[in-house]
């Protein structure tokens, strides 16, 4: 038992670490190569050669900078895997089982997640992820010795607050590259608002992932806000503070011994690093922020603030507004803790309602007002997830997919209502093209092409006369500017020459986004973070004379401008205490302040530079070899655990092996997974004290989409036991097939998550007749449409078998297991058949959201539950034997060790006819 517990704990820890890695199955048609530099192995597939060469150069440059900062560097080569399989940001790093970085080339709408002033998106991603690798790789003192012995199971820097992982990467980028999310307009605005509201988060709120109920979301806290804390530490306690902190933290033996379940006390670590208690340091940070931003706030206010009316009230991410042609409504996108979808609100602020649940992006009305155009990411076959164009018919309430695999991510209707201009990716390196789609014929025609992944389109708008596109383009060198593209077919000096002339309107290092035309076509409005304090404000460009105007002066930010069809109002995305919301202000050119926006010289982008590093076919063996081992013993046996996975995730294995002193024989357990192509195959063999096992399994997706999954799996297993009651050798062959389905539907706050599983088994035991088992499970969770999360769960499980023995059938009762029936003892009923059905209502009691001092324990939410369950089991299902239980439960969700989320449940259940209630306690991940 003890050994099982220990092995389970080790595998959980290892699994948690592995989950940081890449588990996607790549298209088997991809041909992989590797480029080797002094410190890196860059693995990439066809079409990504140029990006691989630039990555090699950037990675080596970044390596030198970070090595200087930390004074240490990994001894083994770092893998960088570049794969184009999804139209989303891909950037992740794992030190486990080997240092590996994963990046993707589809960096659309770069300004939405990165500071665009950095010269190359590759540098943004590589520097950030490499910093993680070189940070998490550090092991000092005794841990360095332990690493030398046990390998990469010793990763003490994994055991630290996420503030000092993600915040560190953002801060270090700022420190050495001058730009990062730390000093982009969105982060500065968020911190300024915190100071305005006097709501600066506590340290425990910014140091781990949890189910946060208030704005800002925890992701913005652990990345963006945390970086300010680290900046403060270094500016106050010296530029080597991060290095000192890492040296102390990575030397903690507690961090190593607790794996990722726990870690050392942050207060003690910080005190040893900077000589001050965490309380003192954090209090100083808060005071520093207040002082710094109060001065800014006063300076901005002195200029005179623009007044506007907040239209939406949901906060969080309410953005991307667009007017209806009649000017009566605004469509926008909202995502928050309860809602996620496309919404329409009346221009008077009434009737705010969701029209489409899900990740529809950048919605805009068709010129006839009958439908809404948007882009959406969905799975494309089993190996890709691409973004496409969709049209939602507001009368029919139906969605029409306009493109399939076009990789379209920004789109706008032309005034004719038949043409749609959109930006999309082409080629394996996800280079950008602007094309037009003819709705009638479905024909797609390229307008302008930007080769070599040199440009990303952030946003686009079509002029009222349909002759010009306004674009916000990010160009190499870190320039996010506004352009006009003449749609008449003449050679373009900047694009590839397919479309018309591309004329820069702005050309500087400031971030200029979201261009939109006024309905009369006289002005081009856009958002820009230019100015001393990097406040995103609205600006206007007068097309007739080329003059610029500052339209707003706000304290936080103004984005996504759009002018009402009657030309009287501007709707834009503003920012406040609750997050982003849509606001309205008058369209009044007389009140705008003339400004001058001189153009800078755009550096020449010479194109990708080939390096001389050798390129060879991908060799999986070096990454597949085990990089760690961990001993264990339960007193009667001793063994080791090891595991490995190649960086493309095609092969993975776990090995447990050792010597059993009682039985004087070795034992082993080997699991192997082949994930080169669907179906995924698993093999497992073992010879332990109690039994010999063999198992082969296959898992295959049938249909996949963002809202629906269908999977089919099959397995064969054999168990040989030397002795079983009655004492005799015993074997069992088992065949199993399982179909599983999961689907999600939603409408505003309502969510409906349905899971269905059907498992059929054929078992051939040596001591009984062959028998069959069938288990059908249906589980449905309704999130009720209330502001806080209230759920109603319904569950039905049916079991049927033709086994001769009751124990080979189904047993009812207890508080765990498939056929649990709370309020009754385990095996309260047993037989060839069983049915259980339950209803459970869960509701929030209290959002604790507090840490336990500076220890890595965080109490998240306290929730209550009321349930009723009923079931019966037996060879014949007679309703007269129906058992009914009911009860209540309290669940505390908590985080330990910064990464592991747990649910602690305490419950009481009364079975009808039972003499007394039963209490139970469970803890699970």
Partner 1 sequence: MRKIFAVSVLFLALPLFAMAQSFNPVIEENSVDGLLLGAEGSYKFFGWLEPSLGIAYGLQSQKLRYRAGVGVWDAKISVVDWPRTPVLGRIGEAGVKATLKLPWNLPTVSGFFGRLWPWPHDPHPPDIAYAMWESSRSFSLPFGIELGVFQQALVGWWQLGVLPSQFQYRQTQLSLRRELFSLRFSYGTLENESKLPDFIFVQGVKGDSTTLQGDQFWTLHFERAFDVIAIPVPITVLPQSLALLVQGAVFFQIAAAGKSEPPSDAQGEEKTVWQNRLSWGMSVLISLEKAGVTARADFVFTRDGQFHFLFNF
Binding site for partner 1 (CB under 8 A): 703, 708, 710, 741, 743, 745, 747, 750, 752, 754, 756, 758, 774, 776, 778, 780, 782, 784-785, 796, 798, 800, 802, 832-833, 835, 837, 875-880
Q: For residue 130, which phi and psi values (nearest 5 degrees)?
A: -65, -35
Give kind and range of the element (H or E) at residue 235: helix 226-237
CA atoms of 360 and 630, how far apart (whole Å):
47
Residue 427, Ramachandran bin (φ over 0: left; ψ between -120 and 50: alpha; else beta): left
Question: Least Å distance between CB 699 and partner 1?
Answer: 18
CA atoms of 100 and 129, how far apart (whole Å):
9
Q: Which is nearer to partner 1, 382 or 629 (CB)?
A: 382
Q: For residue 464, which phi and psi values (nearest 5 degrees)?
A: -60, -30
Q: Which is nearer to partner 1, 253 or 868 (CB)?
A: 868
Question: Least Å distance between CB 197 and partner 1?
Answer: 35
List own/partner pairs for 735-738 with CB under 8 A and 24 or more apart. Answer: 735/761, 735/762, 735/763, 736/760, 736/761, 736/762, 737/712, 737/713, 738/711, 738/712, 738/713, 738/714
- Give SS3 for 174: helix
What residues contact 725, with CB distance under 8 A and at least 6 apart?
none
- Give SS3 for 213: coil
Question: Least Å distance between CB 873 and partner 1?
Answer: 11
Question: Least Å distance between CB 528 and partner 1?
Answer: 44
Q: Which is nearer to partner 1, 799 or 823 (CB)?
A: 799
Question: Least Å distance between CB 784 and partner 1?
Answer: 7
Q: Which is nearer to partner 1, 837 or 901 (CB)?
A: 837
Tokens of 437: 């789609």
CA atoms of 524 and 540, how far apart (whole Å):
6
What residues contact 284, with CB distance under 8 A and at least 6 apart?
232, 236, 276
Q: Which is nearer to partner 1, 611 or 742 (CB)?
A: 742
Question: Least Å distance between CB 707 and partner 1?
Answer: 10
Q: Which is nearer to partner 1, 89 or 836 (CB)?
A: 836
Question: Least Å distance between CB 702 and partner 1?
Answer: 8
Per-residue buried b or exposed e for 545-578, using 16+ beta carbons within 10 Å of the residue's own CB:
eeebbbbbbbbbbbbbbbbbbeeebbbbbbbbeb
Burial label for 921, CB within 10 Å (0-12, 13-18, 19+), is exposed
- Which has the closest alpha carbon to 573: 831, 235, 317? 317
What residues contact 106, with CB distance under 8 A and at least 6 apart?
84, 86, 87, 88, 89, 90, 407, 425, 430
Cα-Cα-Cα-Cα dihedral of 802, 804, 806, 811, to 10°? Answer: -20
Q: Which is nearer to partner 1, 277 or 759 (CB)?
A: 759
Q: Are residues 112 and 459 in contact, defined by beta-carbon separation less than 8 angstroms?
A: no
Tokens of 256: 């190593």
Q: Which is nearer to partner 1, 382 or 796 (CB)?
A: 796
Question: Least Å distance between CB 506 and partner 1?
Answer: 47
| Tokens 């005794």, residue located | 142
Tokens of 809: 């059938």
Question: Least Å distance between CB 877 and partner 1?
Answer: 4
Question: Least Å distance between CB 794 and partner 1?
Answer: 8
Tokens of 630: 């961990």
Q: Which is nearer to partner 1, 217 or 743 (CB)?
A: 743
Question: Least Å distance between CB 317 and partner 1?
Answer: 25
Q: Which is nearer to partner 1, 776 or 847 (CB)?
A: 776
Burial label for 757, CB within 10 Å (0-12, 13-18, 19+), is middle
- Which has the closest alpha carbon to 107: 120, 94, 117? 120
CA atoms of 433 and 454, how far apart (whole Å):
11
Q: Are residues 40 and 613 in contact, defined by beta-carbon separation less than 8 angstroms?
A: no
Q: Which is nearer to partner 1, 371 or 833 (CB)?
A: 833
Q: Which is nearer to partner 1, 12 or 784 (CB)?
A: 784
Q: Are residues 373 and 412 in contact, defined by beta-carbon separation less than 8 angstroms?
A: yes
- Which has the closest alpha carbon to 17: 211, 261, 263? 261
Question: Least Å distance between CB 382 and partner 1?
Answer: 15
Question: Least Å distance between CB 831 and partner 1?
Answer: 9
Q: Which is nearer to partner 1, 95 or 799 (CB)?
A: 799
What residues contact 568, with CB distance under 8 A and at least 6 apart?
586, 587
Q: Which is nearer to partner 1, 503 or 708 (CB)?
A: 708
Question: Least Å distance between CB 442 and partner 1?
Answer: 14
What residues contact 363, with CB distance under 8 A and at least 6 apart?
320, 322, 331, 332, 333, 342, 372, 373, 374
Question: Least Å distance between CB 813 and partner 1?
Answer: 20
Question: Least Å distance between CB 821 and partner 1?
Answer: 16
Q: Which is nearer to partner 1, 619 or 818 (CB)?
A: 818
Q: Which is nearer to partner 1, 776 or 904 (CB)?
A: 776
Give kind and range of the element (H or E) at residue 526: strand 523-528
With vertex at residue 626, the alpha carbon angle to CA 620 and CA 628, rounded to the nearest 5 degrees, is 145
Question: Least Å distance between CB 878 and partner 1?
Answer: 7
Question: Least Å distance between CB 886 and partner 1?
Answer: 18
Q: Which is nearer to partner 1, 704 or 847 (CB)?
A: 704
CA atoms of 121 and 105, how far apart (whole Å):
9
CA atoms of 96 and 15, how far apart (whole Å):
10
Q: Which is nearer to partner 1, 633 or 708 (CB)?
A: 708
Tokens of 455: 């440009």
């Amino acid at each position: 038992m003890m050994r099982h517990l220990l092995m389970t704990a080790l595998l959980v820890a290892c699994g948690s670490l592995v989950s940081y890695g890449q588990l996607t199955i790549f298209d088997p048609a991809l041909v992989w190569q590797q480029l080797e530099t002094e410190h890196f192995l860059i693995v990439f597939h066809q079409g990504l050669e140029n990006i691989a060469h630039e990555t090699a150069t950037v990675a080596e440059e970044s390596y030198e900078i970070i090595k200087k900062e930390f004074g240490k560097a990994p001894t083994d080569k770092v893998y960088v895997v570049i794969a184009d399989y999804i139209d989303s940001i891909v950037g992740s790093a794992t030190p486990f089982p080997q240092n590996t970085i994963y990046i993707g080339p589809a960096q659309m709408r770069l300004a939405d997640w990165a500071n665009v002033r950095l010269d190359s998106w590759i540098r943004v991603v590589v520097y950030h992820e490499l910093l993680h690798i070189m940070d998490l790789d550090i092991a000092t003192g005794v841990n360095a010795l332990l690493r030398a012995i046990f390998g990469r199971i010793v990763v003490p820097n994994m055991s630290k607050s996420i503030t000092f992982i993600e915040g560190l990467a953002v801060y270090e980028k700022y420190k050495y590259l001058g730009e990062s999310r730390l000093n982009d307009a969105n982060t500065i605005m968020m911190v300024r608002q915190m100071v305005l509201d006097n709501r600066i988060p506590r340290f425990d709120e910014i140091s781990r992932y949890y189910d946060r109920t208030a704005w800002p979301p925890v992701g913005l806290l652990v990345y963006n806000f945390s970086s300010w804390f680290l900046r403060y530490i270094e500016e106050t306690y010296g530029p080597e503070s991060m290095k000192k902190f890492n040296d102390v933290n990575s030397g903690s033996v507690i961090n190593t011994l607790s794996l990722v379940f726990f870690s050392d006390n942050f207060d003690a670590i910080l005190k040893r690093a900077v000589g001050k208690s965490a309380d003192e340091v954090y209090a100083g940070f808060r005071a520093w922020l207040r002082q710094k931003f109060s001065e800014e706030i006063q300076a901005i206010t002195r200029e005179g603030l623009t007044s506007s009316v907040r239209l939406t009230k949901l906060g969080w991410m309410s953005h991307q507004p667009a007017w209806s042609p009649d000017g009566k409504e605004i469509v926008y996108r909202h995502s928050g803790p309860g809602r996620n979808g496309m919404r329409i609100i009346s221009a008077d602020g009434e009737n705010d309602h969701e029209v489409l649940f899900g990740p529809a992006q950048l919605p805009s009305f068709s010129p006839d007002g009958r439908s809404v155009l948007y882009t959406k990411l969905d799975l494309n076959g089993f190996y890709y997830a691409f973004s496409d164009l969709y049209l939602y018919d507001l009368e029919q309430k139906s969605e029409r997919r306009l493109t399939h695999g076009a990789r379209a991510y920004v789109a706008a209707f032309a005034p004719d209502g038949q043409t749609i201009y959109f930006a999309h990716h082409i080629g394996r390196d996800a280079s950008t093209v602007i094309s037009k789609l003819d709705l009638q014929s479905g024909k797609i025609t390229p307008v302008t092409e930007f080769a070599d992944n040199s440009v990303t389109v952030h946003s686009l708008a079509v002029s009222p006369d349909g002759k010009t596109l306004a674009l916000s383009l990010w160009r190499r060198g870190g320039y996010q500017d506004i352009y006009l593209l003449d749609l008449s077919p003449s050679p373009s000096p900047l694009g590839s020459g397919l479309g018309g002339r591309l004329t820069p309107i702005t050309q500087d290092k400031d971030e200029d986004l979201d261009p939109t035309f006024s309905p009369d076509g006289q002005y081009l409005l856009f958002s820009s973070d230019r100015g001393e304090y990097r406040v995103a404000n609205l600006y206007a460009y007068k097309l007739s004379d080329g003059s610029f105007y500052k339209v707003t002066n706000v304290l936080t930010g103004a984005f996504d401008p759009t002018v009402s069809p009657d030309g009287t109002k501007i709707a834009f995305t503003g920012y406040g205490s609750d997050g982003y919301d849509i606001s309205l202000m008058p369209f009044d050119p007389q009140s705008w302040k003339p400004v001058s926006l001189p153009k800078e010289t755009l550096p020449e982008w010479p194109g990708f530079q080939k390096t001389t590093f050798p390129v060879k076919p991908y060799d999986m063996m070096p990454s597949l070899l085990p990089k760690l081992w961990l001993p264990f013993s339960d007193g009667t046996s001793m063994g080791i655990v090891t595991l490995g996975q190649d960086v493309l995730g095609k092969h993975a294995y776990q090995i447990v092996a050792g010597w059993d002193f009682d039985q004087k024989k070795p034992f082993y357990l080997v699991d192997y997974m082949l994930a080169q192509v669907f179906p995924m195959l698993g093999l497992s063999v073992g010879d332990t004290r109690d039994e010999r096992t063999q198992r082969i399994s296959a898992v295959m997706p049938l249909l996949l989409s963002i809202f629906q999954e269908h999977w089919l799996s099959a397995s064969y297993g054999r168990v040989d036991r030397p002795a079983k009651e009655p004492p005799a050798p015993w074997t069992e062959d088992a065949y199993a097939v399982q179909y599983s389905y999961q689907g999600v539907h939603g409408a505003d706050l309502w969510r409906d998550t349905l899971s269905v599983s059907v498992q059929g088994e054929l078992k051939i035991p040596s001591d009984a007749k062959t028998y069959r088992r069938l288990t059908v499970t249906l589980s449905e969770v309704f999130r009720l449409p209330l502001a806080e999360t209230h759920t109603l769960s319904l569950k039905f499980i049916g079991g049927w078998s033709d086994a001769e023995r009751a124990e080979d059938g189904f047993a009812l009762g207890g508080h765990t297991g498939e056929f649990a029936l709370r309020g009754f003892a385990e095996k309260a009923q047993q037989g060839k058949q069983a049915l259980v059905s339950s209803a459970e209502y869960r509701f929030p009691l209290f959002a604790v959201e507090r840490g336990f001092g500076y220890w890595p324990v965080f109490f998240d939410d306290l929730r209550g539950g009321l349930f009723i369950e009923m079931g019966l089991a037996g060879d014949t299902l007679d309703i007269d034997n129906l058992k009914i239980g009911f009860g209540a439960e309290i669940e505390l969700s908590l985080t330990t060790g910064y990464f592991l989320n747990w649910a602690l449940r305490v419950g009481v259940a009364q079975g009808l006819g039972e003499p007394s209630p039963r209490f139970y306690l469970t803890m699970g991940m």
